[in-house]
Structure 1
Amino acid sequence: MDALGHVNNGRYVDYLQDARVDFLFRTAKELGADDLETGLLVARHEVVYRAPLYFRPEPVRIELWISEIKAASFTVDYEILDAEPERRTYLEARTRLVPFDFAANRLRRISPVEREALSKLVGA
């Protein structure tokens, strides 16, 4: 919380990262694309703040899905919102991720196995 009693803008990016890492760790392994668990770098974040989120005991939802797959990057879209029935949106965001080969210390293309796995998550 910041001095105004709401979630600080920087913390939202932490929330998005936590949700994305959990999502990709679980789904990458389930879909047989293990390199997506650890071999990614963030290339870009875009965040649109829709409403302040004040401290409260009720949790919020973070919904995320793959929105775009290119040869050497893919994009995750997010919404942070209230649970049903209100579904007030506090934030919309996008993160572009690029595959990285840490052993060779260079960017790499998305493999066919990764593309197939990510394709199953488009709009999920």
Structure 2
Amino acid sequence: MRWSDMDAYGHINNVEILRMLEEARILAFGPPGGTGAPGTEPPIALFNSVPANTQSLISEHRVKYLAPLEYRNIPASVDIWVSSVKAASLSISYLVSDPVMGVPCVKAETVLAFVDGVSGRLLRVSEEQRELIRPWAGESVFG
């Protein structure tokens, strides 16, 4: 959590929550270093297994605020896993908790699709990607 993430009430602003989800997603799945300089390999190197010129696009976010996430000068706890794999998309679930109290504050889900950056065509989730995801799969945070 950053000082600038806080709103006038001392809570992490809802827009900043989406940024936290994005950072958790990049840390978990890659690409290493984002699109900048090389970084460490993510636990699930999902973006390393896509063809050249592939883009990942967010098609949907669903966010449910359970309790205020108050600003603290320590990182929030974000659990992340793959909750669904379809032919051409996957869903990623998140549970964000207060790092001191352990109270769940936000549950969310993102639907992500891969697109050919040149043609704009939707790409199917490959068998290799499905294998990478399998150990990190779980139920949707929304049940």
Q: Tell me the equivalent position of 1:76.
A: 92
Deviation, 1:83, is: 4.1
CA deviations on 1:60-88 (whole Å, 9 max, x unpaired) are 2100000111111110000111347x420
AA partner of residue 94 (structure 1): E
Deviation, 1:32, is: 8.6
Deviation, 1:44, is: 0.3
Q: Distance in 2 between matches of 1:81 and 1:18?
A: 15
Deviation, 1:43, is: 0.6
Equivalent pairs, count? 121
Deviation, 1:101, is: 1.1
Identity of counterpart residues, as a percentage?
A: 33
Deviating above 6 A after TM superposition, structure 1's stretches of 4 or more consecutive aligned residues are none
Q: Tell me the equivalent position of 1:49.
A: 65
Q: Tell me the equivalent position of 1:35.
A: 50
TM normalised by structure 2 equals: 0.75
Q: Distance in 1 between matches of 2:12 and 2:107?
A: 15
Task: Check the 8 A contact 1:32/1:117 in 2, yes or no.
Answer: no
Q: Tell me the equivalent position of 1:109.
A: 124
> Which structure shows the higher helix fraction?
1
Q: Tell me the equivalent position of 1:59.
A: 75
Does residue 17 of structure 2 align to residue 2 of structure 1?
Answer: no
Q: Distance in 1 between matches of 2:124 and 2:115?
A: 8
Q: Tell me the equivalent position of 1:122.
A: 137
3-state DSSP class of the match of 2:27? helix
3-state DSSP class of the match of 2:11? coil
Q: Kindly tell me: are residues 102 and 28 of structure 1, through their superposed partners in 2, closer, same or farther at Cα, counting changes over 3 Å?
A: farther
TM normalised by structure 1 equals: 0.85
Deviation, 1:28, is: 4.0
Task: Check the 8 A contact 1:33/1:113 in 2, yes or no.
Answer: no
Unaligned runs of at least 5 residues, structure 2: 1-5, 31-41
Task: Check the 8 A contact 2:29/2:47 in 1, yes or no.
Answer: no
Q: Distance in 1 between matches of 2:123 and 2:47?
A: 18
Unaligned runs of at least 5 residues, structure 1: none
Task: Check the 8 A contact 1:41/1:97 in 2, yes or no.
Answer: yes
